[in-house]
Amino acid sequence: MLVEMQMPEGYSFVSVAGGWNAPPRIPKFTGVNQRAYREAAAAFLKDHGIAEPEIELTQVIRIDLDGDGADEVVVSGTRNGGDGPGGVQPGDYSFVFLRKLVGGKVRTTPIVTDLHLDPKPHSFSYRLEVVAILDFNGDGTMEIVTSSEYYEGIAVAVLTVDGLDIKQVLIEGCGAIGGSFIVRNALILTAATPRAQGTGRKHALTSSAGAVMSLDEKVSTHYATGDLGQAILDALAADGKDIDKLTLKDLAPVDAFHIGGWEATERMGRNLGLAAGMKVVDMGSGLGGTARQLASTHDCHVSGVDLTAEYCRVAGMLAERLGLSGRTAFHHANALETPFADAAFDAGYTQHAAMNIPDKAGLYAEAARLLKPGGAFAVYDIAQGTGGDVIYPTPWARDPAASFLATMEEMLELLPEAGFAVEGARDLTDDARAYFRAKAAEMSGEKPPALGFQVMLGPIFKEMRQNQLRNFTEDRLALVEIVCRKG
């Protein structure tokens, strides 16, 4: 079969032929100016001998390479790449590296590098970038395709990723590099990937739809339970509440979907220093209970984002019933890619949401982007404990595939990297144990209330609650509260 393609100016193309879906998952391109990735690049270069690197990132790409539901991050950067003999300066570099969660920690491993610590007069440099991420052999795991440009030509290589083990399996080039890179069969798919803005490459990626459920879909499916709004109203009526005259406290049994309930949210509002007229962002707003409580008690405006569309719809409905729709807004979006402008908020928080987010660095970097200088940010989250593996199911995940716990120490390391100064941090695990013991006693009464977390999560919540108490009792989980401020 002969295939002819016209290549539009500025694009790189890779063609794959086969009977499978070569791009089962779609890469997402994020900003190259995110502090977390710039600092990761600086640490990588320093570890490899460039003492004071000038950071120039060209690509930051999020992609689930192996289909396990957790995104990896591929980062490329170049300082004066592609220069010929005599043009290379000390500290010049080009690299592509992988950021991957391994054993609960984010690890950085090189894919391809060209580093110049002490260049000679005849030295020349490469410009290294990602040109495609595709499944080349139909095994469900995606390979990374890189280009290596230099003054005499270009090479394209295909690399496999197995954990942190990177292997080059194919290469083709022109100039002083030779090789063979030909794939034949029945289906041609093309993928074009961008360089950083301003380099002349266009931003695009085309593919057919994949059949593998993304992490976002897994998380959303976990929390979605049919007509949740009507189920909540029915439970309120069963508990003797007038659904046409609801109060915040009426909704508290389901609204406060976090450990400590109403009191924990009040404490967080005080820690943030909320006041009338402030604009606040809730990163992982759920049913909006925390947003409504803070908007009501502090007369501020709270904008929430959540992955689950049904939660956002119900949050808006409940806000309208409480007369708080003018002081709250709920957006169906990923907390890593919110629809808000830079420095749009006076304060922000994430409350029992980051357990489903593998990229904590990206979450905190997005929070820093959204806050004004000096804005307070609170993290109230469940963390990995010291007592061993977590027992599932839990309220945020039925199995480990959608659970990404960090330790308190890792959070305290990542927040400053994102631009926050930590002002206070507390381990509240003892409070969590007491909370779940009280909840177990409440639900074991002769007539437990109809409204509760079981409305959201179904019959499996009883097992989740038992596991939570055991996880905290055995130090498998920890409860942490951190307050910080954007520099």
Q: What span, in angstroms and rounded, lies between the C-alpha atoms of 85 and 164?
A: 33
DSSP single-letter state for residue 391: P
What is the C-alpha end-to-end distance of the chain, expressed in Å?
Answer: 59
Alpha-carbon dihedral angle through residues 148, 145, 219, 364, given to the nearest 10 degrees: -10
Per-residue confidence (pLDDT) for residue 457, from 0 to 100 = 67
Does this model's pTM top 0.95?
Answer: no
Per-residue confidence (pLDDT) for residue 428, from 0 to 100 = 96
Q: What span, in angstroms and rounded, lies between the C-alpha atoms of 457 and 314?
A: 15
Contacts 24+ apart (CB under 8 A), 177-183: 177/148, 177/153, 179/155, 181/156, 183/15, 183/16, 183/17, 183/18, 183/136
Q: What span, in angstroms and rounded, lies between the C-alpha atoms of 271 and 158?
A: 50
* pLDDT per residue of the chain (487 residues) written in tens, 0 to 9: 444 545 445 444 556 667 788 888 888 877 787 778 889 999 999 999 999 999 999 999 989 999 888 889 999 999 986 667 778 899 999 999 999 888 767 889 999 998 998 888 878 888 999 988 999 888 999 999 998 888 878 888 899 998 888 998 888 777 644 333 222 222 222 333 333 322 222 222 222 223 334 455 555 555 545 577 788 888 888 888 888 888 888 887 777 778 988 899 999 999 999 999 999 999 999 999 999 999 999 999 999 999 888 889 999 999 999 999 999 999 999 999 899 999 999 999 999 999 989 889 999 999 999 999 999 999 999 999 999 999 999 988 888 878 889 999 999 999 999 999 999 999 999 999 998 888 777 766 666 667 666 666 677 778 888 898 999 999 999 999 999 999 8
Q: How many residues are listed for the chain in this entry?
A: 487
Sheet containing 72-79, strands listed edge to edge, beginning at the edge strand earlier in sequence: 28-29, 57-63, 72-79, 93-102, 105-115
β-pair partners for 481: 380, 426
**Cα radius of gyration (the chain):** 25
Per-residue confidence (pLDDT) for residue 6, from 0 to 100 = 52
Hey, where are the domains in the chain? 14-211, 217-486
DSSP single-letter state for residue 341: P
Per-residue confidence (pLDDT) for residue 83, from 0 to 100 = 66
Residue type, 82: G
Per-residue confidence (pLDDT) for residue 395, from 0 to 100 = 86
Contacts (Cβ under 8 Å, ≥6 apart) of 270: none
Contacts (Cβ under 8 Å, ≥6 apart) of 459: none
CATH number for the region 217-486 comes to 3.40.50.150
Q: Are 118 and 109 in contact (CB under 8 A)?
A: no
At residue 65, the 3 state secondary structure works out as coil
Per-residue confidence (pLDDT) for residue 294, from 0 to 100 = 97
Question: What is the DSSP secondary-structure string of 313-325?
Answer: HHHHHHHHHTT-T
β 328-332/301-306 pair status? parallel
Q: Tell me how many helices (H) and strands (E) the chain has.
A: 12, 18
What is the number of other CB atoms lying within 10 angstroms of the CB of residue 54? 13
DSSP single-letter state for residue 396: T
Q: What span, in angstroms and rounded, lies between the C-alpha atoms of 376 and 23?
A: 40
β 189-191/345-351 pair status? unpaired
Q: Are 399 and 70 in contact (CB under 8 A)?
A: no
Q: What span, in angstroms and rounded, lies between the C-alpha atoms of 178 and 63?
A: 30
